[in-house]
């Protein structure tokens, strides 16, 4: 039936029902059978309000193809992951050679790693590289409250992959299941576990049913950031044979990702992407993409044709801390925030000269103020002194408040949490006065060790800042007037005050 005829009929039907209702017609005798019919229809079709329509996304860029355009060159960093994944794809790409060597088909590849690191991109690039049709679904779309619906959806997905490939004359299909942990969690663990278990069993059956002699070879690519939740049956050889770790990018990876995403963005000549890559430790690919996007929006807002380094710095803060909030803050609180941030900044310069990039008391999201530190090279190991220095920077905000106002505030809660984590790391790395300890260290002893480490650093910071009150006052005054202070301006202020921050702890 044509869409307009169908919609017209539904509209007319509704109008009649409403008119009848308004004229006092009693519908109660047909309500029950109609609702039963509707509910049955919803369940069988797997659509409607209770059971949302199953959304298999076949991705393609031309009308006739479901092969994504993304290539491995569009993925920055991830060199090891790409190499491992490419190796695994040989069975789709060079199926004759692999079968001559008697290699059994690879049925599943699991991509695991933090959100936004490019797992979906990898799966799409794999489809492009192997000329396979690509179907994507998310684990949460399979699991419903009705027994059998999820299993049916799994069957549908595999069937659809094969028929789509046949229709398009392709010999292979990649089925991408994002959040596979929702569908593949350990069996027997869920409350409505019958439905979950049936769905996972069906997935296992479908994976086991993949054969090299089938005209369409299917590869299942799963993605998760919780590999630990997966049922061991999924990970056994012959199912998800390959596990590829897709990690947060290192500095070189971040630079490559920034280059990829700035191709279509006009950057001002002074923009230094290498510096940006260095400043964005811990950012994922999606953070970096969002950062450049935000920077472009900021240029647009100011009516500029090119993206400046200031746009980028602003965007880093926005991605890290969120949008500027227009909370109105009392003058007293603002002053406290200024001294708190100045405390952090002085100690940061003390433990790592040149480390302060900016100090701000513009509230963003939950933060009322913050300092941004200049980049260091990616670091994976920390010495005891480095950890103690970081603890000093953490506690400096609270100590500064105490020195100026006589009391600390709840504003330091996040800093204390961070300092506690660092101290705990020290204890379990054998870097505290306790020496080597086992993970079974009694909670009381751990607590005492953490408190001792933090207290000592608080005392060091207090002794140090007590002699820097003049610098604290002048930096806080500037911050209160201007809202922010660059690292350079802050260092000039340190020199002007004739105060060295280079004293030993
Ligand atoms: P999730 O676990 O949340 O599903 P994901 O790991 O699948 O995330 P993607 O969906 O692949 O991440 O990435 C999201 C977006 O981030 C991409 O569309 C891309 O713009 C950008 N991105 C992420 N990683 C990279 C990368 N390595 N290179 C280039 N762009 C990237």
For residue 3, pLDDT over 90 is answered with no
Q: Are residues 272 and 419 in the same domain?
A: no
Range(s) of the domain holding residue 341: 331-497
For residue 8, pLDDT over 70 is answered with no
Distance separating alpha carbons of residues 113 and 172, to the nearest angstrom: 26
Type and span of the H or E element at 200: helix 193-208
417 Cα to the center of ligand 1, angstroms: 30
Q: Are residues 470 and 373 in the same domain?
A: yes
Q: Are residues 390 and 257 in the same domain?
A: no
Angle at alpha carbon of residue 173, lines to 217 and 154, rounded to 5°: 95
Distance separating alpha carbons of residues 134 and 320, to the nearest angstrom: 33
Q: Which of 111, 119, 121, 227 to mutate to test the pocket of ligand 1 (most atoms within 8 A of CB)?
A: 121
Domain boundary among 293, 321, 349: 321
For residue 44, name the pLDDT band (cuts at 50, 70, 90). very low
Q: Are residues 91 and 239 in the same domain?
A: yes
For residue 165, pLDDT over 80 is answered with yes
Q: Are residues 237 and 91 in the same domain?
A: yes
For residue 480, name the pLDDT band (cuts at 50, 70, 90). very high
260 pocket-lining for ligand 1 (C-beta < 6 Å): yes
Quick check: 244 and 262 in contact, CB under 8 A?
no
For residue 32, pLDDT over 70 is answered with no
Catalytic residues: 341
Q: Are residues 309 and 349 in the same domain?
A: no
Kindly provide the b/e burial profile for residues 2-14, where b requires at least 16 CB atoms within 10 angstroms of the residue's own CB.
eeeeeeeeeeeee
Domain boundary among 268, 289, 321: 321
Collapse the DSSP code of 372 into the 3-class scheme (helix H, G, I; strand E, B; otherwise coil) and give the result.
strand
pLDDT at site 41: 43
The CATH number given to whatever domain includes residue 283 is 1.10.8.60
In this predicted model, what pLDDT tens digit does every residue of 106-129 receive, in sequence order? 889 999 999 999 999 999 999 999
Two structure tokens written together for 84? 């491992």
Asked which of 45-59, 87-101, 383-397, 445-459 is least confident by mean pLDDT, the reply is: 45-59
Which one is predicted more confidently, 280 or 38? 280
27 in any annotated domain: no
Q: What is the mean pLDDT of residues 209-225?
A: 84
486 Cα to the center of ligand 1, angstroms: 32
464 in any annotated domain: yes
What pTM value is reported for the model?
0.72
For residue 20, pLDDT over 90 is answered with no
Q: Which of 81, 83, 117, 263 to mutate to test the pocket of ligand 1 (most atoms within 8 A of CB)?
A: 117
The CATH number given to whatever domain includes residue 342 is 1.20.58.760
75 Cα to the center of ligand 1, angstroms: 8
For residue 60, pLDDT over 60 is answered with no
pLDDT at site 33: 52
Q: Are residues 423 and 478 in the same domain?
A: yes
Cα-Cα-Cα-Cα dihedral sign, residues 443, 446, 451, 454: negative
For residue 62, name the pLDDT band (cuts at 50, 70, 90). very low
461 in any annotated domain: yes
- How many beta carbons lie within 10 A of that of residue 343, not counting itself? 30
Collapse the DSSP code of 111 into the 3-class scheme (helix H, G, I; strand E, B; otherwise coil) and give the result.
strand
Distance separating alpha carbons of residues 250 and 75, to the nearest angstrom: 13
- How many beta carbons lie within 10 A of that of residue 492, not counting itself? 12
Distance separating alpha carbons of residues 305 and 307, to the nearest angstrom: 7
454 in any annotated domain: yes
For residue 2, pLDDT over 80 is answered with no
352 in any annotated domain: yes
Q: Are residues 99 and 237 in the same domain?
A: yes
For residue 499, name the pLDDT band (cuts at 50, 70, 90). low
Q: Which of 136, 221, 284, 286 to mutate to test the pocket of ligand 1 (most atoms within 8 A of CB)?
A: 286
In this predicted model, what pLDDT tens digit does every residue of 291-334 receive, in sequence order? 999 999 999 999 999 999 999 988 998 888 777 777 778 889 99
183 Cα to the center of ligand 1, angstroms: 21
379 in any annotated domain: yes
Distance separating alpha carbons of residues 143 and 110, to the nearest angstrom: 20
262 pocket-lining for ligand 1 (C-beta < 6 Å): no
138 pocket-lining for ligand 1 (C-beta < 6 Å): no
Q: Are residues 268 and 337 in the same domain?
A: no
For residue 53, pLDDT over 70 is answered with no
117 pocket-lining for ligand 1 (C-beta < 6 Å): yes
285 pocket-lining for ligand 1 (C-beta < 6 Å): yes
286 pocket-lining for ligand 1 (C-beta < 6 Å): yes
Q: What is the mean pLDDT of residues 16-28?
A: 60
Distance separating alpha carbons of residues 358 and 341, to the nearest angstrom: 10
| Mean pLDDT score across all residues of the chain | 83
pLDDT at site 45: 41
Distance separating alpha carbons of residues 134 and 127, to the nearest angstrom: 6
Quick check: 190 and 150 in contact, CB under 8 A?
no
Strands 133-138 and 172-178: parallel
355 pocket-lining for ligand 1 (C-beta < 6 Å): no
Q: Are residues 204 and 347 in the same domain?
A: no
In this predicted model, what pLDDT tens digit does every residue of 236-247 receive, in sequence order? 888 888 899 999
3 in any annotated domain: no
Q: What contacts 208, CB < 8 A, 6 or more positions away?
A: 107, 238, 239
Query: How many separate domains does the chain show?
Result: 3
467 Cα to the center of ligand 1, angstroms: 48
Side-by-side strand order, sheet with 240-245: 57-58, 133-138, 172-178, 217-224, 108-112, 240-245
Q: Are residues 390 and 420 in the same domain?
A: yes
Which one is predicted more confidently, 148 or 65? 148
Find where tokens 């202070």 sit. 485
282 Cα to the center of ligand 1, angstroms: 14
Q: Are residues 224 and 95 in the same domain?
A: yes
Domain boundary among 245, 270, 304: 245
Which one is predicted more confidently, 28 or 72? 72
For residue 385, name the pLDDT band (cuts at 50, 70, 90). very high
Two structure tokens written together for 471? 């610098």
Distance separating alpha carbons of residues 474 and 481, to the nearest angstrom: 11
Q: What is the mean pLDDT of residues 172-182?
A: 91
pLDDT at site 317: 85
368 in any annotated domain: yes
116 pocket-lining for ligand 1 (C-beta < 6 Å): yes
Query: Which residue minimizes the CA distance to atom 29 of ligand 1?
Result: 75
Distance separating alpha carbons of residues 391 and 418, to the nearest angstrom: 8
**What pairs with residue 370 in β-bridges?**
360
DSSP label at residue 307: B
Which one is predicted more confidently, 230 or 2? 230
């Amino acid at each position: 039936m044509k869409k307009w005829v169908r919609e017209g009929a539904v509209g007319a039907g509704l109008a009649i029902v409403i008119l009848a209702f308004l004229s006092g017609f009693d519908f109660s005798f047909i309500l029950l059978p109609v609702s039963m019919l509707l509910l049955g229809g919803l369940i069988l079709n797997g659509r409607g309000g209770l059971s949302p329509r199953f959304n298999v996304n076949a991705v393609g860029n031309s009308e006739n193809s479901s092969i994504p355009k993304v290539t491995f060159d569009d993925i920055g960093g991830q060199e090891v992951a790409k190499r491992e994944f490419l190796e695994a794809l040989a069975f789709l790409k060079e199926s004759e050679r692999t079968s001559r060597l008697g290699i059994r088909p690879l049925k599943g590849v699991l991509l695991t790693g933090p959100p936004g690191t490019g797992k979906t991109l990898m799966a799409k690039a794999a489809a492009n590289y192997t000329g396979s049709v690509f179907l994507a679904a998310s684990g949460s779309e399979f699991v419903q409250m009705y027994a059998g619906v999820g299993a049916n959806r799994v069957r549908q997905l595999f069937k659809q992959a094969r028929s789509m490939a046949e229709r398009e004359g392709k010999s292979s299909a990649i089925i991408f299941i994002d959040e596979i942990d929702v569908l593949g969690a350990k069996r027997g663990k869920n409350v409505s576990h019958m439905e979950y278990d049936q769905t996972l069993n069906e997935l296992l059956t479908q994976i086991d049913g993949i054969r090299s002699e089938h005209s369409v070879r299917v590869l299942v690519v799963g993605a998760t950031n919780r590999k630990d939740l997966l049922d061991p049956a999924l990970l056994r050889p012959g199912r998800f044979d390959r596990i590829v770790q897709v990690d947060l990018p290192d500095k070189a990876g971040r630079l490559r990702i920034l280059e990829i995403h700035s191709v279509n963005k006009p950057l001002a000549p002074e923009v230094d992407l290498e510096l940006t890559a260095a400043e964005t430790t811990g950012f994922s690919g999606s953070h970096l993409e969002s950062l450049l996007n935000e920077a472009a929006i900021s240029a647009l807002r100011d009516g500029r044709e090119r993206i400046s380094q200031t746009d980028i710095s602003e965007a880093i803060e926005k991605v890290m801390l969120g949008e500027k909030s227009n909370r109105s803050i009392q003058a007293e609180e603002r002053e406290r925030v200024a001294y708190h941030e100045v405390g952090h900044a002085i100690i940061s310069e003390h433990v790592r000269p040149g480390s302060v990039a900016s100090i701000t008391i513009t509230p963003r999201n939950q933060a009322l103020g913050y300092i941004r530190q200049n980049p260091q090279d990616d670091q994976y190991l920390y010495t005891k002194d480095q950890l103690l220095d970081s603890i000093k920077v953490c506690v400096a905000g609270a100590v500064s408040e105490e020195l100026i106002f006589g009391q600390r505030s709840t504003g330091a809660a996040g800093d204390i949490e961070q300092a506690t984590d660092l101290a705990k790391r020290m204890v379990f790395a054998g870097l505290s006065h306790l020496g080597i300890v086992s993970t079974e260290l009694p909670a009381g002893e751990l607590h005492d060790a953490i408190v001792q480490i933090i207290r000592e650093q608080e005392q060091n910071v207090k002794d140090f800042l007590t002699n820097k009150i003049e610098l604290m006052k002048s930096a806080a005054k500037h911050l209160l007037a201007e809202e922010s202070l660059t690292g350079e301006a802050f260092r000039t202020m340190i020199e002007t005050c004739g105060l060295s921050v280079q004293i030993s702890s």
